[in-house]
Amino acid sequence: MALIVLLAGATGSLGFMFNAGRNQKSILLITLFTAWVLSPFLALLVADIISKRWTIFTRGTLYFLILFITLGSLVSYSGALILPGTKPAFKFLIVPLISWLLIVIVFPIATLLSRKLFRKRSDTNQT
C-alpha cells in the first residue's frame, strides 16, 4: 500500500510541476526541478525497502510520513494553498525542503523512541 501511495504522490507531484512549468524552455531547469520534487519520494521509497527489519513503531512512523508528505505535497502543488505574491515555482522549491526536514527530524526521534521502548520492554521481560 505504501508503494502505491508513493507512486501516486510522485506521479501527481510531477504532473503538477510539469503543468506549472509548461512554458519553461530550459531543459536543465526542468531536470533540476524534477529531481528536487522527486527526491523526498525516492528517499521514502528507499526507507520502505530497507525497513523490513525495523521495529513496528519506526515502520509506522515511516508509513505516517509517506501518507503525510504525499497528501501535503499534492495539496500544496495543486494550488489549494496559494500564498499571495509568490511565484508558481516557490511551492516546488519549499515543499520538498519541508518534506526533507520532516524526514530528517522525525526519523531520528522515532528511532530513539523505538530503542527506548524496546530496551524498557526487554528490561521488564527479564525480571
pLDDT in tens, 17-65: 999 899 989 999 999 999 999 999 999 999 999 988 888 889 999 999 9
Alpha helices in 79-87 (DSSP H): none
Pair 51, 123: CB distance under 8 Å: no
Q: What is the pLDDT of residue 127?
A: 52
Predicted confidence (pLDDT) at residue 121 exceeds the cutoff of 70: no
Least Cα distance to 12 among 88, 71, 89, 99 occurs for 71
Neighbouring residues of 43: CB distance < 8 A, sequence distance ≥ 6? 100, 103
Q: HSE on the CB side for 87, CA within 13 Å?
A: 5
> What whole-number distance in Å separates Cα of residue 77 and Cα of residue 121?
43
Predicted confidence (pLDDT) at residue 75 exceeds the cutoff of 70: yes
Question: 82 in helix, strand or coil?
Answer: coil
- How much of the chain, in percent, has pLDDT values that exceed 90? 61
